[in-house]
Structures are given as C-alpha cells and as structure tokens.
Amino acid sequence: MKMARRLVAASLIAGTAFAAGAGPLPDAPTFSTLITTPEAIEGLTGDGEANLYVGTRFSATNCKVYRISLDKPALVVVGNVPAPPGGQCSTLGLALDHGGTLYVADGDKIYRFVPNAANPPVASVFATGVPGANGVAFDHFDNVWVSDGGAGLGRVWRIGPDRVPEEMFRVPPMAQAGVGRSVVPLPNPPSGAAVTIFANGLAFDANGDLIVTDTSRGALWKARLDHRGNVLSSMGCDTTFTSNTLCFENVLVMHPLLEGADGVALDSAGNIWVDANERNAVVVVDQNGRTVRELFRNAPVAGLRNGGPLEFPTSPFLSGKRFCTTSSDLNRRDNSPNSAGEAAPATSALGKISCMDQPLAVPGLPLPVR
C-alpha cells in the first residue's frame, strides 16, 4: 500500500511553483546546442570550474574523454580509455573524486586518470568485476558506487579503497527465475528487444541516500544508507529474487513521464532532474517523489518528436545554475528514426551536448556530495 499511495500522490504540475523552498522552474524553457561531437557519447559530469567532461564510445583504439568549457565550448582531449584486445571501448558513466581524478565506467571495469590537456593520459584500471558498468557516483566517504545497467540484473556495487566491488543491493528486475514480464519499447528498431535496464543512473542526495533510475519501469528508487554507507532499506521481500533485492516500498516514484529514465542529477534543494530518453524529455521530481513535472519535451513536427533539440537524452548535469545534457541519438521510440535532428548516423555529428538557456533558480548540488 505504501507504493500505491506514492503513485497516486505523484502529479504533473503546470505552474511555475515547484516545491517549498525549491524556487520556480521555468514555464517554457528552451535548449541550445553547446557543442556536437564526431563520436557517439553518453555519460556526462563536470567540475567546479564550469567545465563538462564526456567520454566517447565504440572505438577499437582509444575512447577519448573530452573537456568542454561552458563559457568557451571546444572539444579538448584530456584523457583516453583503452579498448580491450580485439574489441571496442565504450565509455558510459563518469564521476570526479574530491582530488580531481576522473573515474569512467566501461564494460566490466572502472578506469581512472587525472585529466591533462597538455599530455592526455591513458586511463588505468581502478577496479574490475562490475559487468555492464553504467552509472558511477561517489558517496560521502569517496567510495565509488556503480550500477550494472548494461547487464540488466539491477545490481549496484560499492568499491572502497581495496578496489574490490561489493554488491550492496539489487533493484528487482521484471523477470526472475521465470517469473515476471518484459517491456518492449515502441518502436525499438531493428530488433524490438525488451528494455532490461533496472539500475541505471546514480546520484547521492545531501543525506547520503542513493537515488537510482529504473529505465524499464520509468521509476526512481531510493536506497537509504547509514552513516557508514550500509543499506538500511528493506530487502528480501520476494523469494524469487536474490535476498539483497530492494523491496518495492523503496520506490520513490513511478510515473509515465519517467518512461526511459536514464541519467539523474540533483540540485541543492533536493529536486531530482532526470533524462527521460524514451520520450526525448527532461523531467523534474521533488525530493519526496510527490511532484513530477515535465520540464521540457521536444515539440512534435509532422507527428514526430525526433527533430531535437533533445535527441535521446541520456546524462544530465547541473553546473552551478546551468543545466546541460548529452544526447546519444539512439534509434528508439520518440527518437526514431534518428536520421532527423542535428545528430544523425553517418554524419560529422554523432552526439551532442545541449544546455537550457534559462538559469536555474536553485544551483546544482556540488559533487562529490559531502
């Protein structure tokens, strides 16, 4: 019943007021392209000096990591993630620690390096044994938390100073031991495959609890942690799942506006900013999960919403009072066909970063969270 009440309480707000003390959200925000990239991209992070960082994907040599100044945007290579022998690198989540070292998820590994524009280093392996590594976030103690969005089992790991991943909990998948169902997006060319991403974006709030996006359900989960980073949230309610699987009462909110929830970021008032990639939209949720507002969605043109400015948005980031997001231009649902828009296959722009033209009333939560 707890989850049922939470779902009923979630509402779409049409006005400018959002939440007490949170400041207004713009009624009709607009987005402009900060920069396009010649390679595919997905993950996005930033530092305290108005710089963004994004990693490239699908290279048989090195995947570049770019630094982009918000004030004077240009693609500056500051590091490289190596491709595995006979394979491709494909970077996903990125996060900076307190010392300025950048951590990048790729495959079953977390790489790290200190960004250097004058002599871009090749990243070294920080940890392995995290198959499908996707989202990356730091907790209060500088432990690295990683989601397995690519493997589809809903796992979330913590990696401490010993560099050994510890599975802390799982977001329940929709099918386990033959029980459950799959969700097939409409459309999802060319295969029509089910979306099985249950633990995707990760972000810590000011209390040290972990927000996890559930792409398949269009939901946000909240894992409550104690002062040592141990899980307090209830687990093990369904015997068809592993014993460390979160109970459904840990759903913060589930809402149609969150369909395709991918990356996540928080502002200083606790509001949760989510890229709803399936809908080419940005959605904002208050810290209690009671208010859900669609901040922006592509306007339809000839019945389609694939013309931009958002082209399958994946990773939001709040840099001070600026909101920016990557677009990875996948050929799925509202972004299908992905030949429309500024980014398109077989062109010089395979990815892009777009920023909201209006400033935020509340600045982004400084990262890593203390």
Residue range 261-281, pLDDT digits in tens:
999 999 999 999 999 999 999
Structure confidence at residue 22 (pLDDT): 55
How many domains does the chain divide into? 1
| Length of the chain counted residue by residue | 370
User: Does residue 363 fall inside a structural domain?
Assistant: no
User: Does residue 351 fall inside a structural domain?
Assistant: yes
In terms of Cα–Cα distance, which of 66, 75, 64, 46 is closest to 122?
64
Longest dimension (CA), the chain: 57
In terms of Cα–Cα distance, which of 72, 64, 74 is closest to 43?
64
User: Does residue 202 fall inside a structural domain?
Assistant: yes
Residue 187 tokens read as 């459309």
Q: What is the separation, in whole angstroms, between the first and last Cα of the chain? A: 34
User: Does residue 361 fall inside a structural domain?
Assistant: no
Distance between CA atoms of residues 170 and 186, nearest Å? 27
Q: Which residue has the tokens 């942690």?
A: 225
CATH code (residue 49): 2.120.10.30
Query: How far are the Cα atoms of 260, 333, 335 from residue 184, in angstroms, in the given order?
Result: 11, 10, 15
Structure confidence at residue 192 (pLDDT): 58
Chain CA centroid to CA 70, Å: 20
The segments of the chain whose pLDDT lies below 50 read: 1-16, 20-21
User: Does residue 332 fall inside a structural domain?
Assistant: yes
Q: Which residue has the tokens 């669609």?
A: 294
User: Does residue 364 fall inside a structural domain?
Assistant: no
Residues 255 and 294 sit within 8 Å (Cβ to Cβ): no
Q: Which residues have C-beta within 8 Å of that of residue 351, sequence separation ≥ 6?
A: 36, 37, 39, 40, 41, 42, 54, 56, 326, 327, 328, 329, 343
pTM tops 0.85 = yes
The strand pairing partners of 118, in sequence order, are none
Residue range 69-113, pLDDT digits in tens: 999 999 999 999 999 999 999 999 999 999 999 999 999 999 999
Distance between CA atoms of residues 309 and 299, nearest Å? 9
Distance between CA atoms of residues 243 and 246, nearest Å? 9
Distance between CA atoms of residues 340 and 335, nearest Å? 8
Residue 275 tokens read as 């890229």
Structure confidence at residue 182 (pLDDT): 64
Structure confidence at residue 4 (pLDDT): 40
Q: Where in the sequence is the domain holding 31, given as residue range(s)?
A: 2-356
Q: Which residues have C-beta within 8 Å of that of residue 286, sequence separation ≥ 6?
A: 18, 19, 22, 270, 271, 272
Structure confidence at residue 228 (pLDDT): 87
User: Does residue 295 fall inside a structural domain?
Assistant: yes
Structure confidence at residue 264 (pLDDT): 98
Residue 45 tokens read as 């992070």
User: Does residue 368 fall inside a structural domain?
Assistant: no
